[in-house]
Amino acid sequence: MAHASDGRSMEFKLPDLGEGLTEAEIVRWLVEVGDVVAVDQPVVEVETAKAMVEVPCPYGGVVTARFGEEGTELPVGAPLVTVAVGEGETAAGGPARERGAGDGAAPTPAAEPPAAEPKPEGSGNVLVGYGTSEAPARRRRVRPDRPAATGASGRANGRVRAAEPVGGAVGTAEPLDGPVPVISPLVRRLARQHDLDLRELTGSGPDGLILRADVEYALRAAAAQGGRTADREAGAGGARAGAAAPAASPSDGTRVPLKGVRGAVADKLSRSRREIPDATCWVDADATELMRARTAMNASGGPKISLVALLARICTAALARFPELNSTVDTEAREIVRLDGVHLGFAAQTDRGLVVPVVRDAHARDAESLTAEFARLTEAARAGRLTPGELTGGTFTLNNYGVFGVDGSTPIINHPEAAMLGVGRIVPKPWVHEGELAVRQVVQLSLTFDHRVCDGGTAGGFLRYVADCVEQPAVLLRSL
């Protein structure tokens, strides 16, 4: 058995999770007070405006306190946990409680360590702004009569614990493994805010999963039913009194907070419009041959190639010819920075809102590799499991809005990038082919670009090259 050690209590604060995010919501605690944690072991799962993230602790030792209930929003820099750093024992000399072991007794609180103990090394791990070697951690004494705040539910060693009831009111958050099929904390919180009983809903997701759209539909239906009831009551009373119904107030209606994903999207798009002098050009292209080429490739028996992967391959080839569009503007230095590699973002619509995952080094990938990476990132986006690193660092964005059944759009540039290619739906249309009118598979392509990095000639050349590759895929072979 390890000997007792005079350790230090290190306070781990919520780190900067990347790209200007200033807060995160606690979704699930992964440890309890008294647990032994290793360096870089995840201790809490949080949800930012970008993604779900498991936050690893840079210290190893015994958890003596944790801060914030599940569902609480914490600002960056707020304390998450306090860890007594030692040799796996509490400061009182008894062995630290392992998860799932022991007789369920309350953990022994750690005494305040001596001030002369040198500061332990942090892991210097992966999250932005981790700062394990920055300001010295503040020492905390955990008092037996003041247990650390704990969340409603948690998970340790891969096991999910049922949530404790909070308040017992209608709309209380249900445990993840409970009878109500709800995963998203945003769905549970929305239901709580409107006193909606999730047990009365039928989910439209896989296996009856209740989605945010289901909650919003139920709220709209309840509001409409309430409005009809109020109208009947007003008609019965007001008509007898001969009084006119009051006009609607400007404050009437539903207010939706601009926070989370919606708030992050609003801020980014507003900044793009404010800072980037953008322009858009577009062209129709005959995609018949591209569709035939994809059919032939997928008939060979190998891994299936997606259409978006072929479009991405065309984009990277076009950017190699027109590198001005794979750049960013350094406004302080008044310089255009042309980037060496292509990190291709693609717009993905999820239940949480619009996100833009990034395919790293897309220029170095073939169609098969691009297909696999698009599939992986799309699945992670829908599950809310994209990491901050998978959502940042893009240099050019491909936006396939054709999946919404529309032909054209004027995309807003994903700041601080310099351009975005939009792709509409591919539909049969009359087209002059080889001098004769024929029905062909036609697509509209649009390019929005930052007019600071290039003029219309460069943008037009890029778009025309993309259209040529769509119409004649053999053109792409000449650039390989």
DSSP structural state of residue 362 = G
Plot region of 88 (φ>0 → left; ψ -120 to 50 → alpha; else → beta): left
Query: CA end-to-end span of the chain, whole Å?
Result: 63
Strands 8-13 and 79-85, how do they pair?
antiparallel
Q: Is the C-alpha dihedral spanning 71, 187, 377, 160 positive or negative? A: positive
Question: What b-and-e string marks burial along 367-397, b requiring 16 or more CB atoms within 10 Å of the CB?
Answer: bebbbebbeebbebbeebebbbebbbebbbb
From the candidates 3, 194, 343, 451, give the one annotated as an active-site residue: 451
Short-list 141, 22, 149, CA closest to 73 = 22
Q: What does the alpha-carbon distance between residue 303 and residue 369 come to, in Å, rounded to a whole number?
A: 10
Short-list 140, 57, 133, CA closest to 91 = 140
160, two tokens: 């999910």
Short-list 352, 405, 407, CA closest to 381 = 352
User: How far lies 266's CA from each of 135, 314, 440, in Å?
Assistant: 34, 30, 38
Q: Give φ, ψ of 31 to 5 degrees.
A: -140, 160
Alpha helices in 276-423 (DSSP H): 288-298, 307-321, 367-383
383, two tokens: 């599950």
The CA R_g of the chain, rounded to the nearest whole Å, is: 28
Dmax (CA) of the chain: 90
Q: What does the alpha-carbon distance between residue 309 and residue 381 come to, in Å, rounded to a whole number?
A: 17
- Encoded amino acid at 298, one letter: N
User: DSSP letters of 62-96?
Assistant: EEEEE---TT-EEETT-EEEEEEESSSB-TTSSBP
DSSP structural state of residue 27 = E
User: How far lies 140's CA from each of 66, 72, 82, 386, 475, in Å?
Assistant: 11, 22, 8, 34, 67
345 SS3 class: strand
Q: What does the alpha-carbon distance between residue 240 and residue 457 come to, in Å, rounded to a whole number?
A: 72
Q: What does the alpha-carbon distance between residue 376 and residue 328 come to, in Å, rounded to a whole number?
A: 27
Active site residue 3: no
Which amino acids are annotated catalytic?
451
